[in-house]
Structure 1
């Protein structure tokens, strides 16, 4: 996990140094494990740190509010992008409204699948 933290932090630093205005980077992956269902890493520009969360399989709920990662994971799309200054895009996901309230103006997420399903 230390290697993943280090690489995510380095990626954020390189993007910032290149002029990309980042507020955060999130990387999540579902895993085949009897207890842990998802590993989620998130770098935040306020702290500059990477937090790691191991989400228990039992707490992954399919009835949660619509989220971009859910659409990506379910194969509804491979990429999602939102202009958080556009009211239509802000209402698409509950996360979008939260980010827009913090002054974040854009959102981009992509899915990369490994193996076959």
Structure 2
């Protein structure tokens, strides 16, 4: 069955946007041997003029709630999937994610960044 991964994403209510527009002169990813290395991205989404905008700006724990931080991390993860699809053509080619690095901008004393990153493509934390 072709495109099983995207069908599963649809079941989860996740639709892939176009890949984020690059800010600089870089590729969304590159295949080296049988591995894909993706570029960094942000939790952006296209606005009505098709410009990438950050709907969540600030530090979690002061400017943003945990739910807003989660929503931003979720957008970021979905953007990475869109970048992977742009490079590979089909997400079914992905067999395993070997490494994921996530950064959460937190207010001083906020010690729950894991709540943004642990379950970004699953149900809410």
TM-score of the superposed pair, with normalisation by structure 2: 0.25
- Structure with the larger RCO, 1 or 2 (CA within 8 Å, 6+ apart): 2
Hey, which of these two has a bigger chunk of strand by percent? 1
TM-score of the superposed pair, with normalisation by structure 1: 0.26
